[in-house]
Structure 1
Amino acid sequence: LFGYGNDYKTALKTLTTIGGSVPMPRKSVLGTWYSRFWNFTDTDYRDLVKQYKEHDFPLDIMVLDMDWHRDGWTGWSWNYKLIPDPPKLLADLHAAGLQTTLNLHPADGVGPHEDQYKAFMEKIGEPADGKTIPFDVANEKHMKALQSEVMAPLKKDGADFWWLDWQQYSQTRSIPSLTNLWWFNEFLMRDTSVGGRRGLAFSRWAGWGDHRHPIHFSGDADSGWDMLAFEVPFTSVAGNVGCFFWSHDIGGHNGPRNEESYARWCQFGATSAALRSHSERNPITDRRPWNYPKWGEDSMRISFHLRSELFPYIYTSTAQAARDTVPLNRPLYIDFPTDEASYHNAQEYLLGDDILVAPIATKGVGEGRVAHQSVHFPQGFNWFNTFTGEKFEGGTDALCAATINEFPIFAKAGVPIPMQPYTERMTSAPLSTLRLRVFPGVDGQNGESHLYEDDGDSDGYTKGASASTDLRYTRASNDIEIRVGATKGKFNGQLANRAYKIELPATQRATSATFEGKAVAVIYDAATSTNVIDIPARPINKATVVKVTVADADFQALANKAQAMRMTALTGRTFAPQAPRDLLKSAMTSGLTSDQTTEALAVVGVGMIRKNLSPTFTKGEIRDIFYAPEGILDEVPAVTTTSQSRAQIRFDGQSINLPNAILGSDNIAPTAKVTLGSIQDGYGEGGVNDLNVSGYPINGRQEWSSGKNEGSTVRLSWDTAQSINRVALFDRINLTDHIRAGVLTFSDGSTIAVGELPNDGSTPADIRFAPKTVNWVEFKVTAVSEISESVGLAEIAVFKAAK
């Protein structure tokens, strides 16, 4: 037993000291992927490559889902009807700068219909008489035959690695104590490392020790907002057990088409291990961004381009993860273990050392789809919004709004962020120009980072074939020095010369700049308050030092400009930059909907967030947190905590209630006895009236899941008669189980037909009626969606009639 207190980095390092190191993934898998469960032809795949280029989206990996092989879940032979010449297709994809992966469901073994059946059977010493040998990952002879006779020909055709999608059973046949998934992941790492390439096992997480087999994916997510909100902390805390490179079905594998959610998923994917878009066999959920409305396509293009530009930083952080055993996406407490707030903000994470991300996971308002997220800024540093240059002090908390074309992502002040110009092949394009973006540090600050490089594909990095370049920012008053150290180390394909582009955002126009003692030109972009200095290509083994005299921008002016932009996107009216209170006053002069009012307040940092304070975002204390920057409201707001908190605030003489919740102190459901007609194992009996509109995947015990569909019932009873006039029904938060109709029955014998419940996990069916005096009310499900498996309710609220 080893104990390290809150020294989490040392604890993680011990994990790999005992259990083996975390390998560097191939560079290509850290880029953007296109994946779809669809019967694409070879022409379709070639067209996809063209479309990505025509629509200005980067691409690095082309996934061939299970239709690459013949019919059935398990397949090892090309479907020549769809792909007549597989080697030619894969060669064309390679020539376009892409890597390829083939989907596998190997559980049914190698059947007699497979091209390599005879060779496989001969290799294991069995007659090729039409029988199928049960698949057994633990049988060494069988697996060596699979590798040499079945998989090797596919790799010869051009397959770069395998996507192990599922295996259908948990333990191996011949060694029941051996986990099938874990050992298969190990087998794939070994198979793909032949010839000096880095081993790669693209698969589900198999538990302790599987950190040796990256890259992983989380499975068949749905397209709902709650799933996105769950995946964010799920990703960062996965690193606590060694799952450092955790990818997802960006946009959701299944569920209805959710255009706005997909755009926000892409923002999350752009700042995680891989931007891997994927969807089920459904014509409306294809993840090609240009098949979405223009606002969605434009938003997604920003995310895809951001990933491309940030890739040198992401790859450097990936190397750090492998070298130092620290997750790529990690909870705040890994780096800030003594900051209590770092344990209570699982909605955000660090991407490497110097970038903080808090993805938006809620539906937006207005044409600009403005939404908000709470952000805690770790102490010891200032942080800058990389889209707008807004400055936030470390050790503070804020409510941060964002249009659909931005999201809360922040760079640590005074630290060089290594970047590259946009390229459509972010993982393979030579880094001929290194961009260094540095937001203003404090006077006297020395900020350091570095750039890591290697060939991206071979195991040469394990033998020292890599390079590192130190990057430094120093500040004395308004005198700034950016130093790019001489590159140390060598690897195959290394460039001898490189140009540099120094970017200083959130600054005023520079008064001077020099390189090697000579004045150099400075280009100032007033729209972004950024000074840019270009240094022509020069040997990388020589240090490059640029000195600039430049003052900080007016940070409040930058904040005013960003808030005016968001208010315009929210309301459709144009606002000039102005003080936050004045901006809000201008916005409130015209009729705003309740949703617009809530979001207009959030634009200037005012609002209420219901937050799970658990470090893992599940099964923790639920608390409503109110945010109000000084000087915006008329007075200190009154925040009351009932079934869901309400904040009564006054602004410009008006009284406003936030967050206009349907739950309130008049909800008597929590006082009732609950009787369920049925309940699915693992779900809580009290979840239907626990004041939490929640459930799986966040916490299954906070909802009612019936285990059945039509006929499911829930009854609320009181010992004394209650006068009621309203019932609110919240469907389960997953998007698969959906109630289409039901009936409310009351103890007085009356009934009310209920139509379809909103299938978004947060909006209730609000049923209002003339006051009734009753001892119980029962809801019965009478119709469900075709794909429902176990309907129920996330919450039911019953309201007292006013006296």
Structure 2
Amino acid sequence: MKKLLAFLCICMQLVPLWGQAVSRISNGVKVEAGTVCVELECFSPSIIRVKKYPSGKIPEKHSLSVVKRPENVKYKLQEKDNRITLITSELSVSLDIAKDQVCFTDKDGKVLLAEKPSSVGFTPFDDAGMSTYKVRQSFRLDADEAIYGLGQHQQGRMNQRNQTMVMRQVNMEIYIPLIHSVKGYALFWDNYSATTFTDNEQGMTFESEVGDLCDYYFVYGGGADGVVAGLRDLTGQAPMFPLWSFGFNQSRERYVSQDELVGVVKKYRDLQIPLDGIVQDWRYWGEDHADWNAIEFRNPLFPNPKKMLDEVHSLNAHAMISVWPSFGPATNPYKDFERHNKLMSHETFPQNSGVKVYDAYDPVARDIYWKHLNEQMFSIGMDSWWLDATEPEHNPIKEEDYDYQTYLGSFRKVRNAFPLVSVGGVYDHQRTVASDKRVFILTRSAFAGQQRYGAQSWSGDVVAAWDVLRNQISAALNFSLSGIPYWNSDIGGFYTANHFPGGVKNPAYQELYVRWMQFSVFTGMMRSHGTNTPREIFQFGNRGDWAFDAQEKMINLRYRLLPYIYSASWDVTSKGGSLMRALFSDFPTDKKVLDLGDEYMFGKSILVAPVTSTSRSRSLYLPEGTRWIDFWTGEMQDGGREITRNAPIDIIPLYVKVGSIIPVGPSVQYATEKPWNNLQIRIYPGADGEFILYEDEGDNYNYEKGKYTTIRMTWNDRKKQFTIYPCEGGYDGMLQERNFRITLVDGQDGLGLDNESQTVNVVYKGKKLNIKLL
């Protein structure tokens, strides 16, 4: 009792310090320093929230991105030399009161990040009649400090230093006010209004149009994986996608009838080309703009949508439907939203057609949105959602449109978070009505925390061009480093007409398309889509034609790698991992990879170097600290040097890190056609290695209840011993016995996936096995 009373006295104590007021608050400290009040709050030993606001005005704020609640963190407070220091087991955070400067250091005293002195700014601002501020804060970065993140951008930058960026969501640009430093920390600026990011010789600054306070989170991870895991801890974990979604998905703008859509699936089956998803783009609702996005099959060429979906399912495929957040005035959703006063004021695409966006910030509006999705689509068997234009699209933009009062304040105040709340509404509602079908959402925009909603983004309506293809790589990696693990792009680029007249019949376009498809094998979703020309594989010719054969090879490669990809996805869900990995994530001491934005790791074993030109060779860098084995030939290469790899049209340069263990699945026509009871296990010798094979029921949420299995595998390189550990976990229908074909990749032969010249076959029944490989 005495200890409790003493603690309460400390918590309530106001300590005068140099004319200031310092008080302990829950999980931190509050300092009233002149005209500004500063709060430092521990969310964990490695996550600190910093709030600053004008004294006497304590703002209330519920974060849209942050879902973590502060932990009961053990910390110490020190007061010395006009400085308050909060110390956890991982960090020290100090506030120099005279300079109004917060500084973050690690437990060894190394400075990680510091604010510029007296650089917080609150400029009074009238936001549609509400008195608030334009807010800013500046920071000091090391001169050679590389930073990443900020969302997804198309300028081809990897390192995001030395630029100015006006962050307002638009097609092809996803703005997330978050930087990820090579020093092992992230800073998330928790503001949803348009924000200008600036980095120059004077410092790095976030300046937002609207804010009642300066509010940011400092996340320390020690390295890229730790940072990303911390961001997930802060903003939400990524659930598992259905296994089928990692297969090949076909789309175009657009299938004009249900017969055409089903016919495409049948054609793939007839050709024995693997396929798991078919996508219906717009105008299934009809051609009149007044019917825009009716979320109904009003188009007479879709007379029986349930039959269409039943036929797709009977062919062992899945369907995705395009839905927008905007509605034409003749649609039932529009009328429903209007009746409840839930339509925003501005018009959007198509221009001058009366189409308006719903107020996704309002829970009632999200209920209405889902009601129509559920009644018209989900109830008849639709498998997944393509939530297009979630920026949302704004055409034309007028400043007064931002005055519109959403459920959470002016549109100006919450503009950039629209995709987060709109996508989140669909996820939350589907989870309440079904547990046997995982939510799978494809969306054009995103904001911090969106990974928790079963969504992955694509890069928007990009143009078919070689430089655009190259820029997709750094765009994807920076997006991943912003904390959102799944990303993809339209294979071949959305627009083709200006660059490649003739489309699929143009050999120049065929080459670009094949190279883009090779890249897409190693992204979150392998998805063909675009306008101006159809994209199905049979549009490119027949077997024996190079463009056809190269695509078939890549689609089959994707399916053979599904055990590796799905296990990597479990690492994303269970450990806050990343699928597309910037090279510095795995090789932080190699200075040459810090600004390398055209190659990456896919999972923790495979280095991917996409071909992004018409050349038949590719220069690439193999990071130091390990050796590398050519995926296609088995040839060993030393790291720490640049090499040139021949790249004929059917080859994408791939290198596997020594010590890797890669499971290879069967040849299939769809992801779940065959159980994984006969897997090839490829061992890449040269270092010790470990892999965890993950399996579950594929398309429900039983894994959240512990219904899944993991099988740990290790390779001892010195002893040449491969060990398979006892199977952990279980679920209904799990395999009780399987055959593992263990292949040692030693560079002696050509090593395509079917080469098993040095293979040991073992029967695994869930018990530990030790296998000696000579």
TM-score normalised by length of structure 2: 0.62
Task: State the match for 1:237 in structure 2.
Answer: 478
- Distance between the aligned counterparts of 1:527 and 1:207, measured in 2? 39
- Distance between the aligned counterparts of 2:755 and 2:669, measured in 1? 27
Distance change >3 Å, CA 85–CA 534, structure 1 → 2: farther
Task: State the match for 1:160 in structure 2.
Answer: 383
31, 38, 42: which one aligns with 2:247:
31
Counterpart AA for 1:474: N
Taking the TM superposition and a 5 Å limit, the aligned residue runs for 1:447-526 are 447-476=689-718, 480-506=720-746
Shift of 1:437: 1.0
| Post-superposition CA distance 1:368-420 (Å, at most 9, x none) | xx2x2222222332211111222211222212221011111111223220110
Task: State the match for 1:77 in structure 2.
Answer: 296
Task: State the match for 2:635 in structure 1.
Answer: 390
537, 545, 548: which one aligns with 1:288:
537
Counterpart AA for 2:520: G
Counterpart AA for 1:304: I
The answer as to whether partners of 2:661 and 2:682 remain within 8 angstroms in 1 is yes
| Post-superposition CA distance 1:565-615 (Å, at most 9, x none) | xxxxxxxxxxxxxxxxxxxxxxxxxxxxxxxxxxxxxxxxxxxxxxxxxxx
The answer as to whether partners of 2:487 and 2:524 remain within 8 angstroms in 1 is yes
| Post-superposition CA distance 1:411-456 (Å, at most 9, x none) | 12232201101111125642121210123x23xx432112111222
Partner of 2:663: helix, strand, or coil?
strand
- Distance between the aligned counterparts of 2:337 and 2:488, measured in 1? 33
- Distance between the aligned counterparts of 2:225 and 2:751, measured in 1? 40
Counterpart AA for 2:714: R
| Post-superposition CA distance 1:620-674 (Å, at most 9, x none) | xxxxxxxxxxxxxxxxxxxxxxxxxxxxxxxxxxxxxxxxxxxxxxxxxxxxxxx
607, 620, 624: which one aligns with 1:356:
607
Distance change >3 Å, CA 433–CA 290, structure 1 → 2: farther
The answer as to whether partners of 1:471 and 1:484 remain within 8 angstroms in 2 is yes
Shift of 1:117: 7.4
Partner of 1:77: helix, strand, or coil?
coil
| Post-superposition CA distance 1:226-266 (Å, at most 9, x none) | 11111012112211101210011011111223110100011
1:254 aligns with 2:495: yes
Shift of 1:218: 0.9
Counterpart AA for 1:454: D
323, 326, 341: which one aligns with 1:104:
323
Distance change >3 Å, CA 206–CA 243, structure 1 → 2: same
The answer as to whether partners of 2:609 and 2:653 remain within 8 angstroms in 1 is yes
Task: State the match for 1:86 in structure 2.
Answer: 305
Distance change >3 Å, CA 449–CA 218, structure 1 → 2: same
1:148 aligns with 2:339: no
Taking the TM superposition and a 5 Å limit, the aligned residue runs for 1:254-273 are 254-255=495-496, 256=500, 257=503, 258-273=509-524
1:432 aligns with 2:681: no
Partner of 2:517: helix, strand, or coil?
helix
Partner of 2:551: helix, strand, or coil?
helix
- Distance between the aligned counterparts of 1:528 and 1:80, measured in 2? 47
Distance change >3 Å, CA 31–CA 528, structure 1 → 2: closer
| Post-superposition CA distance 1:287-323 (Å, at most 9, x none) | 4355247101111111111111011101111111222
The answer as to whether partners of 2:626 and 2:657 remain within 8 angstroms in 1 is yes
Shift of 1:469: 0.6
- Distance between the aligned counterparts of 1:141 and 1:132, measured in 2? 20
Counterpart AA for 1:504: L
Task: State the match for 1:212 in structure 2.
Answer: 452
The answer as to whether partners of 1:138 and 1:173 remain within 8 angstroms in 2 is no
Shift of 1:112: 3.7
Counterpart AA for 1:78: F
1:543 aligns with 2:736: no
| Post-superposition CA distance 1:532-589 (Å, at most 9, x none) | 53637552x223443332xxxxxxxxxxxxxxxxxxxxxxxxxxxxxxxxxxxxxxxx
Counterpart AA for 1:225: W
The answer as to whether partners of 2:419 and 2:447 remain within 8 angstroms in 1 is no
Bigger drift between 258-267 and 162-171 goes to 162-171
Distance change >3 Å, CA 149–CA 261, structure 1 → 2: closer
142, 167, 186: which one aligns with 2:424:
186
Partner of 1:206: helix, strand, or coil?
coil
The answer as to whether partners of 1:345 and 1:375 remain within 8 angstroms in 2 is no
Partner of 1:68: helix, strand, or coil?
coil
Partner of 1:66: helix, strand, or coil?
coil
Task: State the match for 2:231 in structure 1.
Answer: 15
- Distance between the aligned counterparts of 2:634 and 2:550, measured in 1? 19
Task: State the match for 1:378 in structure 2.
Answer: 623
Distance change >3 Å, CA 113–CA 527, structure 1 → 2: closer
375, 380, 401: which one aligns with 2:646:
401
Task: State the match for 1:775 in structure 2.
Answer: none
- Distance between the aligned counterparts of 1:532 and 1:463, measured in 2? 40
- Distance between the aligned counterparts of 2:450 and 2:302, measured in 1? 34
The answer as to whether partners of 2:295 and 2:372 remain within 8 angstroms in 1 is no
The answer as to whether partners of 2:707 and 2:730 remain within 8 angstroms in 1 is yes
Counterpart AA for 2:451: H
Partner of 1:67: helix, strand, or coil?
coil
Distance change >3 Å, CA 389–CA 224, structure 1 → 2: same
The answer as to whether partners of 1:314 and 1:352 remain within 8 angstroms in 2 is yes
- Distance between the aligned counterparts of 2:363 and 2:657, measured in 1? 50
- Distance between the aligned counterparts of 2:342 and 2:587, measured in 1? 58
| Post-superposition CA distance 1:439-477 (Å, at most 9, x none) | 3x23xx43211211122222222232221111122344x
- Distance between the aligned counterparts of 2:428 and 2:754, measured in 1? 49
4+ residue runs of structure 1 moved beyond 6 angstroms?
Answer: 116-126, 131-134, 524-529
The answer as to whether partners of 1:119 and 1:149 remain within 8 angstroms in 2 is no
Partner of 1:531: helix, strand, or coil?
coil
Q: Which has the higher contact order (CA 8 A, sep 6+)?
A: 2
- Distance between the aligned counterparts of 1:331 and 1:526, measured in 2? 26
The answer as to whether partners of 2:619 and 2:645 remain within 8 angstroms in 1 is yes
Aligned length: 515
Shift of 1:504: 2.5
Task: State the match for 2:434 in structure 1.
Answer: 195
Partner of 2:420: helix, strand, or coil?
helix
- Distance between the aligned counterparts of 1:397 and 1:69, measured in 2? 53
Identity between Structure 1 and Structure 2 (%) = 25
The answer as to whether partners of 2:319 and 2:383 remain within 8 angstroms in 1 is yes
Partner of 2:278: helix, strand, or coil?
strand
Task: State the match for 1:625 in structure 2.
Answer: none
Q: Which runs of 5+ in 1 are unaligned?
A: 365-369, 510-523, 550-803
Partner of 2:319: helix, strand, or coil?
strand
TM-score normalised by length of structure 1: 0.60
Counterpart AA for 1:212: R
- Distance between the aligned counterparts of 1:91 and 1:277, measured in 2? 23
The answer as to whether partners of 1:56 and 1:301 remain within 8 angstroms in 2 is no
Partner of 2:593: helix, strand, or coil?
helix
Question: Pairwise CA RMSD of aligned residues?
Answer: 2.9
Bigger drift between 378-387 and 224-233 goes to 378-387
Partner of 1:482: helix, strand, or coil?
strand
Give 1 or 2 for the bigger CA radius of gyration. 1
